[in-house]
């Protein structure tokens, strides 16, 4: 058990809809990262938050957004969903960020999103 909790585990919805994925980081971790894993693209970094502030952006679509709340949990919002958005979405957390030395990221078990 990594200590990172993601809900829901599975989500099935239709094209054009909007969903919210939730992540609770490990106790004491201030950084949260979101990744998308698909068969053709592998694991792709989407976005990082550190202590409530956006810190880094990767290959995140404009239809996607995220935030980190004062209690440090994070939500990833996916809107105007398309078939190609079907994937596993992982959250990871770490103690700090690059300004605070190297800390490995620990991953949750992911949310499997299926778009019909």
Partner 1 sequence: GQQLNQSPQSMFIQEGEDVSMNCTSSSIFNTWLWYKQDPGEGPVLLIALYKAGELTSNGRLTAQFGTTRKDSFLNISASIPSDVGIYFCAGRYTANQAGTALIFGKGTTLSVSS
Contacting partner 1 (CB under 8 A), which of 56, 61, 67, 79? 56
- For the beta carbon of residue 2, count every other beta carbon within 10 angstroms: 14
Residue 86 in contact with partner 1, rule: CB under 8 A: no
How far apart are the C-alpha atoms of 85 and 60, rounded to whole Å?
11
φ, ψ at 99 (rounded to 5°): -75, -10
Q: Are 55 and 97 in contact (CB under 8 A)?
A: yes
Least Cα distance to 115 among 88, 75, 76 occurs for: 88
Number of residues that bind partner 1 (CB under 8 A): 29
Whose tokens are 């809900």? That residue is 7
Among 68, 74, 108, 113, binds partner 1 (CB under 8 A): 108
- For the CB of residue 16, give the shortest distance to partner 1 in the complex, in Å: 28
DSSP letter for 25, please: P
User: Measured from the CB of residue 80, what is the shortest distance to partner 1 in angstroms?
Assistant: 25
In the set 57, 63, 77, 114, which binds partner 1 (CB under 8 A)?
A: 57
Q: Does 28 bind partner 1 (CB under 8 A)?
A: no
Summarize as ranges the residues that interact with partner 1 (CB under 8 A): 2, 4, 6, 31, 33, 35, 42-45, 48, 50, 55-58, 90, 92, 97-99, 102, 104-110
């Amino acid at each position: 058990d990594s200590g990172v909790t993601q809900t829901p585990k599975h989500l099935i919805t239709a094209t054009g809809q909007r969903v919210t994925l939730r992540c609770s980081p490990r106790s004491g971790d201030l950084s949260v990262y979101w990744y998308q894993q698909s068969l053709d693209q592998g694991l792709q970094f989407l976005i990082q938050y550190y202590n409530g502030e956006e810190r880094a952006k990767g290959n995140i679509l404009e239809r996607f957004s995220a935030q980190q709340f004062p209690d440090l949990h994070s939500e990833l919002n996916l809107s105007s969903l398309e078939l190609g958005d079907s994937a596993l979405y992982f959250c990871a957390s770490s103690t700090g960020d690059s300004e605070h030395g190297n800390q490995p990221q620990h991953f949750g078990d992911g949310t499997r999103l299926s778009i019909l």
